[in-house]
Amino acid sequence: MAAISLMARGATGRPARSHLDATHPPGDRHAYSYALVLAAARPIGILTQRDMIGLVAAGHDLATVKVIDVMTAPVITLEQAAMTDVLTVWSVIQQHGIRHLPIVDECGLLVGMVTADELLQGGDLLELSVAVQLEGAASKHQSDRYDDTAFQSQQDLSDFVENAIVCLHWVAADGTIIWANQAELDLLGYEREEYIGHSIVEFHTDRAVIDDILDRLLHDRSVRDCEADLRCKDGSIRHVLIDSKASWHNGKFLRTRCFTRDITERKRAEEDLRRFNAALSHAMEGIAFLDAQGHYVWVNQAYADGIGYSPAAMVGMDWQRTVHPDDLHTVELAYGQMLDRGKVEVAARGMRHDGSIFYKQLVMVKADRGQQQTGHYCFMKDITAAKQTEADLIQSEQKFRAIFDSMLQFIGLLTPDGHFIDGNQAVFDAVAIDRAAIIGKPFWETPWWAHSPQLQARVKAAVATAAAGESVQFESEHFWADGTPAVVDFSLKPLFDDSGKVTMLLPEGRDITDRKRKEDILRNIALGVSAKTGEAFFEALVEYLTKALRVEYAFISELLPPTHDRVRTLAGYGHGTTIDRFEYALLNTPCQCTINCHFCVCAERLQQQFPDHALLKEIGAQSYMGVILRNSAGEPLGLICVLSCQDFSETQLMKEILNIFAARAAAEIERQRSEMELQFQKQDLARSNDELQQFAYVASHDLQEPLRMITSYLELLERRYKGQLDAKADTFIAYAVDGASRMQILINDLLNYSRVGRQDRDFEDVDCEQIFERALTNLHVAIATNKAIVSHTPLPRVHGNSSQITQLFQNLIGNAIKFRTQEPPQVEVSAKFTAGNWLFSVRDNGIGIENEYLERIFIIFQRLHGKTEYPGTGIGLAVCRKIIERHGGNLWVESQPDRGSTFYFTLSPSSR
């Protein structure tokens, strides 16, 4: 490229390299067809336009080809002394088939340059030779400036012109081609007669060019490097440069001699080169060429942009400035490989002009000429974004993998036809499989299922089901790498894509061995103890615990009040038999630790830890686990513990089981205690009830006798002395009589009340119709006095004590009449059978009861009115309730003030 630009710049161009020069006539600004390479003013090589064209045609990259590699060396030169005449020079040129001939002095130093073109354009020399050719030897004299003695023979000259490699033709003033040499005819492909004698216009594609040449010839006599397109015989177009010189005779334009230089190939090559350069320069990919020393010779825009320089600024720069220091070694290694293999690809971090870092992918291609490496091409792609994506991907993959592998359950991936793709670490650890060994294998053929042909068949069937889009789940039994049996909850799920197609299968396994075992233990113990309470429960529990937990001993103990430093066993079981209850002090025992810490485990060497504990030694206990028992308020009640003569192996499972049953045992102790307390209270209550009834009975019974005496003596006093003492005395005696009779009623009522409790449960079938009638008879005075109407629906037979039920009817109907309004009392007694019992009602139209008193009226001595308003003792309804309670029924009232009341009670139907 440097040589081309040098040639193009012509006379004023500066040498691109100190050792490269182009010689040229001074003042000539035209392009040159060669570049001469000098070393200490001696020509050492030459590079011509033809070479350039050759290089381009051979597909070389002119940007990187070095002149030194492609120049013609050594150079044919001619010593100045041998340059006696033009023809000598010409013959040298002809002889070597060259077009450029450096002229040197006797020391070999360059003194000048002769080119074939210049020689041929020597004009008049050739002019003369053509004249010879055209007009024969006779016309020789027409030339007055050349001595024909300069030619060795006319024939020589004629041959020279005819055989010159330069194309020549002559055109007459009217435009007719009057002669052309063979080279010209060959160029355009015409026979002599097809060209000579024809008008030049026929062969030019552009008439304007001919007119232009003519104009300039008339004006300047000569034209140089006039570009024109000539039509060949085969229809193709040749692009030529025409140099033309007009011959004048006596002021008359005679003819013009034209050199035609074919520049078609050059044009094409130049065009190719231009396109090629444009393509490289504008390529999206960064492209650079570096010399063998690693300096940038040429970089395109994209490459320079990537590094943050201008293309020009990068020329001459060392490659190391564009690579991150940490990656220099990597790139150097790759460079070495490139020298071996010709091409290498490497990723490295690049350094930009501003110091920033980016990731680049480099393709380095060696450039060489023969054995010699001339440098390398470097194609660069910025892969920072891709790298970042890749890094993100790796990170997320690592994250996923970490989670995947740290999962305790077994998770894998299968192809839809059940071939193993991948699995988490748990999959491989459990049965110690080598990851690589099972990838790609059918899942049912992996070591997971190897122990059971049935399971293999089941898994194979599961794969088919899951591949059809349905999930499968079952429990399977395995043996782990260390030989322990395990139960796995296995599932196989299909994964779908957007179109609903199954893309993968997801096998999952969860080790449920512990859960299964726990479930079994819990179920067994629960079944064994569920139906039991109290002591039986405790005894069953310790027995089942020893069996389920595979321990030798189990105890449930309760803390002994008040100091809580001793415990007593509620139940104990050891070596297949129930152990009798015993007490022991907590001090320096594992049980003390259990009470203090709520939980205590000693999975091995128990005796060493409690060396003073004789019992532990006696029973040979090696391990212990205890859980505290607490009541619902959180207070310690005791403990549950198990002991084994071996070390414990499943402490976690045992702990969970013990905790569950500790809660159950604590609840049982609490329940037992409150039951006992209730029992005490009940007994207490019954006793005090009895005492009270006894007292009430005795009191009311024994009071009757003296009261009767008081009453009869007061009546005697009244009868005998009424009207004999003063008026006041009469009133006092009347008060005393009244008080005594009220006391009589009260004591009677009280006696009645206490009798209800005392009477035996003397129950029989009772006809309520009769009872009702009896009650009315007892109430006939009140009915008559109050003009009461007492009606009833048919009344059933019931099971009960007839006198008490009579009392019940009498009390309720009596109240219904007593608590009347102005209206005459209307009472209705009815009964209906409901819910297996007879429901009686006694409805009245009396004063009614405020809502708030509906319960209170049934308590003994509770009255809502003064005795002057409505007489009574407040015992009647209490008696009624007591009677109903003793009959196992209910008694209640519904009422509103002024709207009457309805008393309800229930009695069992008669057995008949």
Task: Report H helices in 256-344.
Answer: 264-282, 301-307, 311-314, 328-341
Length of the chain as a residue count:
912
Whether 490 contacts 476, CB under 8 Å? yes
Candidate residues 872, 890, 894, 910; the one interacting with ligand ADP per rule CB under 6 A: 872
Give the residue with the Cβ less far from ligand ADP, 102 or 900. Answer: 900
Under the binding rule (CB under 6 A), the answer on residue 844 touching ligand ADP is yes
> What span, in angstroms and rounded, lies between the C-alpha atoms of 81 and 908?
163
Which residue shows structure tokens 């005393």?
Answer: 736
Report 443-462 residues binding ligand ADP (CB under 6 A): none
Burial of 179 (0-12, 13-18, 19+ CB in 10 A): buried
Q: How many CA atoms lie within 13 A of 492 on its CB side?
A: 29
Segment near ligand ADP (CB under 6 A); pick from 201-209, 568-576, 700-708, 861-869: 861-869
Whether 471 contacts 492, CB under 8 Å? yes
Give the residue with the Cβ less far from ligand ADP, 509 or 814. Answer: 814
CB of 760 to ligand ADP, least distance (A): 25
Whether 792 contacts 770, CB under 8 Å? no
Give the residue with the Cβ less far from ligand ADP, 622 or 901. Answer: 901
Residue type, 404: F
Burial of 403 (0-12, 13-18, 19+ CB in 10 A): exposed
CB of 540 to ligand ADP, least distance (A): 53
Phi, psi of 154 (to 5 degrees): -65, -35
Under the binding rule (CB under 6 A), the answer on residue 589 touching ligand ADP is no
Give the residue with the Cβ less far from ligand ADP, 349 or 818. Answer: 818
Q: Residue 493 has what DSSP assignment?
A: E
Report the interhelical angle of 534-548 vs 513-529 (nearest 10°).
150
Under the binding rule (CB under 6 A), the answer on residue 865 touching ligand ADP is yes
Here's the x/- map for ligand ADP, 413-432, by CB under 6 A: it reads as --------------------
Q: Which residue has the CB atom at the shortest distance from ligand ADP?
A: 872
Under the binding rule (CB under 6 A), the answer on residue 854 touching ligand ADP is no
Here's the x/- map for ligand ADP, 795-834, by CB under 6 A: it reads as ----------------x---xx--x---------------
Give the residue with the Cβ less far from ligand ADP, 161 or 877. Answer: 877
Candidate residues 660, 874, 892, 909; the one interacting with ligand ADP per rule CB under 6 A: 874
Under the binding rule (CB under 6 A), the answer on residue 754 touching ligand ADP is no
Under the binding rule (CB under 6 A), the answer on residue 847 touching ligand ADP is yes
Under the binding rule (CB under 6 A), the answer on residue 891 touching ligand ADP is no
> What span, in angstroms and rounded, lies between the C-alpha atoms of 198 and 179?
10
Candidate residues 347, 365, 450, 864; the one interacting with ligand ADP per rule CB under 6 A: 864
Task: Report H helices in 315-416.
Answer: 328-341, 384-406
Phi, psi of 223 (to 5 degrees): -130, 140
- With contacts defined by CB under 6 A, how many residues of the chain interact with ligand ADP? 20
In order of 185, 203, 590, 609, 868, the CA distances from 623 in angstroms are 120, 120, 10, 10, 83
Whether 607 contacts 594, CB under 8 Å? no
Give the residue with the Cβ less far from ligand ADP, 226 or 864. Answer: 864
Give the residue with the Cβ less far from ligand ADP, 637 or 775. Answer: 775
Segment near ligand ADP (CB under 6 A); pick from 437-445, 656-664, 665-673, 866-874: 866-874
Cβ contacts of residue 613 below 8 Å, gap of 6+?
A: 588, 589, 590, 607
Q: Residue 85 has what DSSP assignment?
A: S
Under the binding rule (CB under 6 A), the answer on residue 782 touching ligand ADP is no
CB of 863 to ligand ADP, least distance (A): 4
Candidate residues 187, 849, 883, 907; the one interacting with ligand ADP per rule CB under 6 A: 849
Report 893-912 residues binding ligand ADP (CB under 6 A): 901
Give the residue with the Cβ less far from ligand ADP, 54 or 874. Answer: 874
CB of 744 to ligand ADP, least distance (A): 15
Whether 55 contacts 65, CB under 8 Å? yes
- The residues of the shown chain that bind ligand ADP, judged by CB under 6 A, are 811, 815-816, 819, 844, 846-847, 849, 857, 863-865, 872-878, 901
